[in-house]
Amino acid sequence: MAKNLVIVESPAKAKTIKKFLGASYDVIASNGHVRDMPKSQMGIDIEHDYEPHYITIRGKGELLAQLRKAVKKADKIYLATDPDREGEAIAWHLANILGIDENKMCRVTFNEITKDAVKKAIQNPRKIDMDLTDAQQARRVLDRIVGYKISPVLWKKVQKGLSAGRVQSVAVKLVVDREEEIEKFVPEEYWNIYATLATKKPKKSFEAKFYGKNDKKLDIHSKEEIDKILDELEKAKYVVSEIKNGEKKRNPAPPFTTSTMQQEASRKIGFTIKKTMSVAQGLYEGVRIPEKGSVGLITYMRTDSTRISEEARATAKTYITETYGKDYYENRYYKAKKDSQAHKKSLEIEEFKKQAEKINNITLDLKVKAGENGKIFGGITAKEISQELKSKQNMDIDKKKIVLKETIKNIGRFSVDIKFGEGINAKLTVDIQPE
């Protein structure tokens, strides 16, 4: 029988997937990354396009030997590491170290470990996504450069043992800023008054909070003020002047993202982020259920999406309608926030690309006053070019993006650099002629 080899990241996941795929498939775990940059040195050739140098992670030699034997025996190989940039990079490293052609349809991904999801992924393999892989490599290179370059400076200037990081250092800055705000805070005394009011019905009471006088809110700042109010309240009569009846509809919360899951786990059950992610990993990879074996109970836990798979939706519908009735089921779809920072950034980059393409294909004609020697009266600045683009091409380009080493002072044709940011640049042809 032809053998197919599936390589995943964790042993727990391997067991669950093996059960779904059957005897014609071997499923082996890589136990995470198999290659990394050496710890004893930078491991990056800064002079040659920041090329990283990878070595086999210590202790992975025996596992890689096992994987090489399995690869030789297999007719088809599937790299089924996690569906994120880290998983994509692991798949790429495995392909390189095991001699698998990364341009072949060898990569499979699934966001939930269910029988249908796994089989569907196997039926629809793809090439390794080098954009995702490069994103992981860029992150890893930046981590290494920041850590290895700045940490020694901290040892010399501040304290031995301190470390710097691409994310860590920024997070520390945010914490420090917040702590400084707390220290500068001037506490202000305030008081609240609560009263437990009895009703005519025995053993019935409710709590009321003091609001103010004559329908105006009154803030209490001292014990003297509160004692005066309490004297007045002791002599007062209490009347329920108005009752508002209404129906309050509350929608269920959307599915968890990584951050909302961590927040709720911390708030409700006191879990650390590490423990939350460890538990979630186990639920994703598979939990042993009597008579069903190992079953994945949640979708992939590293996500900012609230989308629910159609398979999960159908399963939930069947259970709810059969258990409670059709009236208790409502089909809900959750949309990502369109005003998210990532979405805004993406739109901005797309707009930059469009503007750059347009600028590369136009010539901006300017008529100016000039002397017989071709000298311009006054000169052309980035501000003038920005204004002309606005009036003649209807393009709103910030003058700060227009790069002029010096003011243009002669008639003629010039090439002007425009830098939009995010690595997007354009060259504008400016043709300046006398009036």
Residue of 50, 78, 194, 300 marked catalytic:
300
Residues 424 and 409 sit within 8 Å (Cβ to Cβ): no
Pairing of the two strands 205-209 and 194-198: antiparallel
Exposure on the CB side of residue 374, measured as CA atoms within 13 A: 7
DSSP state of 39: T
Q: Which helix (H) or strand (E) holds 232?
A: helix 223-234
Q: CB-based burial of residue 5 (10 Å sphere; 0-12 exposed, 13-18 middle, 19+ buried)?
A: buried
The closest of 64, 209, 253, 50 to 143, measured between CA atoms, is 50
Pairing of the two strands 293-295 and 287-289: antiparallel
User: Residue 94: which residues within 8 A CB-CB, separation 6 or more?
Assistant: 7, 30, 34, 67, 79, 81, 100
Q: Which helix (H) or strand (E) holds 281?
A: helix 273-285
Cα separation, 24 vs 4, in Å, equals 6
User: Residue 91: which residues within 8 A CB-CB, separation 6 or more?
Assistant: 79, 81, 106, 107, 128, 133
Residues 61 and 55 sit within 8 Å (Cβ to Cβ): no
Residue reference for tokens 């629910």: 308
Q: CB-based burial of residue 56 (10 Å sphere; 0-12 exposed, 13-18 middle, 19+ buried)?
A: middle
The closest of 59, 95, 73 to 5, measured between CA atoms, is 73
Cα separation, 218 vs 405, in Å, equals 62
Pairing of the two strands 412-421 and 402-403: antiparallel
State yes or no: is 300 an active-site residue.
Answer: yes
Cα separation, 74 vs 81, in Å, equals 18
Cα separation, 5 vs 72, in Å, equals 10
The set of catalytic residues is 300
